[in-house]
Copies of this chain bind each other. A is one copy, B any other.
Amino acid sequence: MAQLNRQIVLDRLPQGALRPDHFRQVEAARPRPGNGQVLVRTLYMSLDAANRAWMQGATYRSALKGGDVMAGAALAEVVESNTHRLAVGDLVFADTGWQEYAALSADGLTKLPRIEPLTNLVSVYGVAGLTAYFGLLVCGEPRAGETVVVSAAAGSVGSIAGQIAKIKGCRAVGVAGGSEKGRWLVEELGFDVAVDYKAADFKKQLRDACPEGIDVYFDNVGGDVLEACLFAMNPFGRIACCGAVSQYDGDAPRAGPRGIPGLVVTRRLALRGFVVMDFEGQREKAIEDLQSWVQSGQLKVHEDVIEGLENLPSALVGLLNGANRGKRMVKVQL
């Protein structure tokens, strides 16, 4: 009998909020790699708010549909190779889907350096760290002394973006839900101040946190927080549009913030959307910078590792509800 491959299937597309029962676990035969392919085993699945956005429609990838093995990227290890480009034991970060094994074309796979702990390849040296790095530095263009606001600041990308803002000499203001997360941002990660978007006086908190206005807003959430930040932006401010998690866990996104495009014009703002893949050519320099900051202690890495393939659905639902601090991932096997 063929060896098995446990998979999590998106049983049906959600109407409204995603729940664990939108998924089901199945067992399939372990795939065999074809010509030019590798068989990989999944070590750590990355969980990302974008996973939910893929259920809403086509984004930078085609939309998911009911019955698909749930899409997702993982740190994975090559266990069989039909290509000279990768050898057994090599590590890759790949769109394996939510399963233990995947047969993948070697095209577009890059061997990763074996940096320990391996989880760092999913967090600070992975998509989260690189997204924070390029989004803040290229789209945000922060200058020392400026005020940088980061939303979803306790999340994987936000927690790094805010710390990079500090490294660059900026005032870092984190927007997160609840006072406990806020304390963590300030006391553990060194943000100057945190603002609770769930508080009734959120807009006042934001104004008080930014007495000289906002120069750079790193937007992970869209919606009302983007709107509040728009109204506090300084002329010639920059908004790095990284994501819109406030709009993902439902049906179609709501209409955008008031003030678009009015404030964009009158304050001469620049909003720039980006996806981390666009910066592939500058990856090495980014990893070097990130490593040096981690080694000097300027950049603290916080990871939120959950055990077991079967926990992927609840881990994603929790992420969408803000349960995580730092990079959430699921350890599938090691």
Bound complex: CA of A268 vs CA of B134, how far in Å? 13
**A144 part of interface (Cβ distance < 8 Å):** no
**A243 part of interface (Cβ distance < 8 Å):** yes
Name the one of B60, B260, B268, B270 contacting A260, with C-beta atoms under 8 angstroms. Answer: B260
Q: Is the CB of A257 within 8 A of B258?
A: no
Bound complex: CA of A271 vs CA of B233, how far in Å? 15
Interface residues of A in 236-267 (CB under 8 A from B): 241-244, 247, 252-267
0/1 interface trace, chain A 25-48, chain B, CB 8 Å (1 if under) = 000000000000000000000000
Shortest Cβ distance from residue A243 to the other chain B in the assembled complex, whole angstroms: 6
**Copies of this protein, total:** 2
**A282 part of interface (Cβ distance < 8 Å):** no
Q: What residue of chain B has the Cβ atom nearest to residue A61's Cβ?
A: B266
Bound complex: CA of A241 vs CA of B53, how far in Å? 27
Q: Interface with B: A92-100, A272-280, A305-313, which one?
A: A272-280
Q: Is the CB of A256 within 8 A of B265?
A: no
Bound complex: CA of A257 vs CA of B253, how far in Å? 10
0/1 interface trace, chain A 194-222, chain B, CB 8 Å (1 if under) = 00000000000000000000000001001
Shortest Cβ distance from residue A177 to the other chain B in the assembled complex, whole angstroms: 19
Residues of B within 8 A of A247 (CB): 262
Number of residues from A at the complex interface, CB < 8 A: 36
**A76 part of interface (Cβ distance < 8 Å):** no
Which of A247, A257, A266, A268 has the most chain B CB within a 10 Å cutoff?
A266
**A296 part of interface (Cβ distance < 8 Å):** no
Q: Is the CB of B255 within 8 A of A265?
A: no
Residues of B within 8 A of A271 (CB): 261, 264, 269-272
Q: Is the CB of A262 within 8 A of B60?
A: no
Q: Is the CB of A266 within 8 A of B260?
A: no
**A330 part of interface (Cβ distance < 8 Å):** no
Bound complex: CA of A265 vs CA of B59, how far in Å? 9
Bound complex: CA of A167 vs CA of B170, how far in Å? 43
Q: Is the CB of B261 within 8 A of A258?
A: no
Residues of B within 8 A of A226 (CB): 261
Bound complex: CA of A258 vs CA of B275, how far in Å? 20
Name the one of B53, B244, B260, B268 contacting A256, with C-beta atoms under 8 angstroms. Answer: B260
Q: Is the CB of A265 within 8 A of B242?
A: yes
Q: Is the CB of B267 within 8 A of A273?
A: yes
Knowing A264-B273, A265-B243, A268-B275, the reply to whether A256 touches B253 (Cβ < 8 A) is no
8 contacts between A and B (CB under 8 A): A219-B261, A241-B264, A252-B258, A254-B255, A261-B273, A264-B272, A266-B273, A271-B272
